[in-house]
Structure 1
Amino acid sequence: MERLFQSVRITINDKLYVKDPESSNLGKRIVEESIFMINDFGFESFTFKKLGQKIGSNESSIYRYFENKHKLLLYLASWYWGWLEYQLVFATNSIPEANSKLERAIEIVTQATEIDLAFTHINEVLLNKIVINEYSKSYLTKEVDQENKDGYFVIYKRLVNRMSLMINEVNPDYPYSSSLASTIIEGALHQYFLMDHFSSLTSCNKKITPTEYFKHLTFNTLNIKKNG
């Protein structure tokens, strides 16, 4: 089983990079250190020049992998959504009952992130924080429609679609499955952001997790008892 995990590779749209960072040690270091630096300094203060100094390489070598830091952020977000999709599929594949499958899926996409030892150059905990704090900057741009056509968000959309299909399995008559699915996935990010920065605006805290909230919201919305 451990060998199976180690063989998993998250496939990213090749338009997001000039050279696949997974193809070399330098590329993996670029990804690894960029996660630490964006988490520490924020996306606005992060530059390829600073990254080059950190990894002891010329700034130009980073441009051989990524056209700009916007593409790097899109790459990191795509990797995160791909990793979450992999977690979701693996955790729910053997669950035959629709309610239990959806409940497990909600847990996967809303729970606190833990380190995955299958990907040693990616700190998933810090990457999750980056997605919480910075992901909206990857699509709140004038170019979003063209980037969507180019498939930059296909992994995220695929994850939402998987959730939507699970919601339909629980209640085929519910007409808003895609809206509910995207609300669960995006809403989880927002609830964690509120917990960290605007705690008075959320009921979630150390005792009440976003997972509990979204289970309650989803199954009450669908008029289904959990595990019923």
Structure 2
Amino acid sequence: MTSIKLQVDQKLSLRDPTSTELGQSIVEHAILLLDELGFEAFTFRKLADRIGTTEPSIYRYFKNKQRLLLYLASWYWSWMEYRIVLATANVDRAEERLRLALVELTRPPVANASLLQIDEVALYRVVVAEASKAYLHRDVDAENREGLFRGYKRLCRAVADIVIEVNPTYRYPLSLVSTMLESARMQLYFAEHLPSLTEVNRAAADLPTTEFLTELVFRAIMREP
């Protein structure tokens, strides 16, 4: 089976982790350990113990654990963009392409053997629970000036461009898409941990989330100003 290798901004790591076996192992087991422990309890020492290496070896690849989380989130955003491109290829109607994009952005993934060293299902859980910590912190402005959020911005821009195709006069395409992306994660998080805040059902969270956000998006862009 052909493997998929996505490009992640080189500024997110001190050394490209895909270039060595150790780097690939760091990424692979960081996802699993973050999924197991959560961001706050996760440390490079624990990761080093898990993969049988030293903390300094991990610091040769990533400045700190926040930068590692941002690397993983950026990989996921690039993966989302890739999935949307595949799902909407050769679809002429903008409305249908937007619906397909919303499905890709809101449905949980399944295991994919074409993704080397990436447990997509575990990464999805990490993104739902932890991704906002990659940019909700005091250094976000400096990191933004470095261009570290290009993957997220590119994903939002790609979907916003479809929104504009559907309704060229709609005034808030980026605001709508970024709100929808954040809400997709939060609805799933609420269904898992704070169920009284959502009608989304934990047992089948993807379908009502997709239905809710699709309705929200189309009502917003189709209503008269």
Tell me which of 18, 28, 35 is aligned to 1:22.
18
Partner residue, 2:96: 100
Distance 1:16 1:101 in 2: 31
RMSD: 1.3
Deviates more, 1:57-66 or 1:160-169: 57-66
Segments of 4+ moved more than 6 angstroms: none
Partner residue, 1:201: 197
Partner residue, 1:213: 212
Distance 2:197 2:138 in 1: 30
Count of residues paired in the alignment: 220
Distance 2:119 2:208 in 1: 22
Counterpart of 2:15, as a letter, is K
Partner residue, 2:107: 111
Partner residue, 1:185: 181
Is contact 2:101–2:159 with CA below 8 Å preserved after alignment? yes
Query: Cα deviation per residue 1:160-206 (whole Å; 9 max; x = unaligned)?
Result: 01111101111111111111111111110011011001111111113
Tell me which of 148, 152, 158 is aligned to 1:156.
152
Query: Cα deviation per residue 1:88-118 (whole Å; 9 max; x = unaligned)?
Result: 1111121111110000000011111222221
Query: Cα deviation per residue 1:10-65 (whole Å; 9 max; x = unaligned)?
Result: 11111111111100111111101111111111111111111111111111111111
Is contact 2:5–2:116 with CA below 8 Å preserved after alignment? no
> Does the residue aligned with 2:222 lie in a helix, a strand or coil?
coil
Deviates more, 1:143-152 or 1:215-224: 215-224
Counterpart of 1:183, as a letter, is T
TM-score, normalised via structure 1 length: 0.92
Partner residue, 1:89: 85
Tell me which of 28, 32, 54 is aligned to 1:32.
28
CA positional deviation for 1:9: 2.1
Is contact 2:25–2:117 with CA below 8 Å preserved after alignment? yes
CA positional deviation for 1:67: 1.4
Tell me which of 63, 69, 83 is aligned to 2:65.
69
Partner residue, 2:54: 58
TM-score, normalised via structure 2 length: 0.94
1:47 aligns with 2:46: no
**Identity percentage of aligned residues:** 42
CA positional deviation for 1:222: 2.2
Deviates more, 1:113-122 or 1:179-188: 113-122
Distance 1:195 1:27 in 2: 34
